[in-house]
Amino acid sequence: MNATSEAPAVLITGAARRVGAEIARTLHAAGARLVLHYRTSAVEAESLAAELNASRPGSVVSAAADLCDSARLPWLASVAVEEFGRLDALVNSASAFYATPMGSIDAAAWDDLIGSNLKGPLFLCQAAAPHLKAVHGAIVNITDIHAERPMQNYSLYCIAKAGLLGLTRALAVELAPQVRVNAVAPGPVQWPEGKAAADFNAAARRAIVARTLLQREGSPADIARTVRFLLFEAGYITGQTINVDGGRSAYL
């Protein structure tokens, strides 16, 4: 992003918990002002906002929206402008993740997985684009190494992330030269919760790590540092995906 005397304003989706929250802490520590998006994690989002505002008052606000509700996304894209006078960057981190074996896929799963991982980011990028163009801003999408190397029983999720990877490249072309668009593709940095947790028991985790060149798990901080780099230090990088996976994608 262009140098400015003002602290950059960043909208992060799915910022209340897990990787999204770590991205928020890392970008805030780098001086950014933040809009923390959440869908249902209101308590966590408000707690994180209070934590960060305690160190720098007035630097963080939270905003609730369902990314599957396209009509709500122009408002979400405008929150940073209303609060901070500008929007410098968008990080699409929110994601639904669970198995959908063939034969079990229904319209509800399609709407949820495609909505949170592809449709929502697309319409949010579209809504944010005029604000980002005005300041020569940047977008970072959180994809997945399985966007290019599908995982059994997770076809719908993999399709959605493959779409987000394609969206990253398409928007890099579409929004150039004013806006840079890149992606970060995590490997085994944080194990799933909820519906998918049972598929990643101790034995499954050991097997995944065994096929990771560095022979260890990563952490949300690894993803957050890469997002920070792409937003604040990579002025000549666009249309690219950085795999942060300990080398797993080289060995799948």
Which candidate, 192, 189, 162, places its Cα nearest to that of 245?
189
DSSP 152-171: TT-HHHHHHHHHHHHHHHHH
- Rounded CA gap, 183 and 168, in Å? 7
The answer to whether 157 is a known catalytic residue is: yes
- Rounded CA gap, 201 and 197, in Å? 7
Catalytic residue (choose from 98, 157, 236, 251): 157
Q: Which amino acid makes up residue 20? A: G
Q: Are 190 and 205 in contact (CB under 8 A)?
A: no
The SS3 of residue 233 is: coil
- Backbone phi and psi for residue 198, each to the nearest 5 degrees, phi listed first: -65, -25
Which candidate, 162, 158, 112, 127, places its Cα nearest to that of 141?
162
Task: Give me the sign of the Cα torsion angle 26, 39, 143, 167.
Answer: negative
CA distances from 8 to 13, 31, 142, 168 (A): 16, 7, 20, 21
The helix, strand and coil proportions of the chain, stated in percent and rounded to the nearest 5, come to 50, 15, 35
The catalytic residues are 157
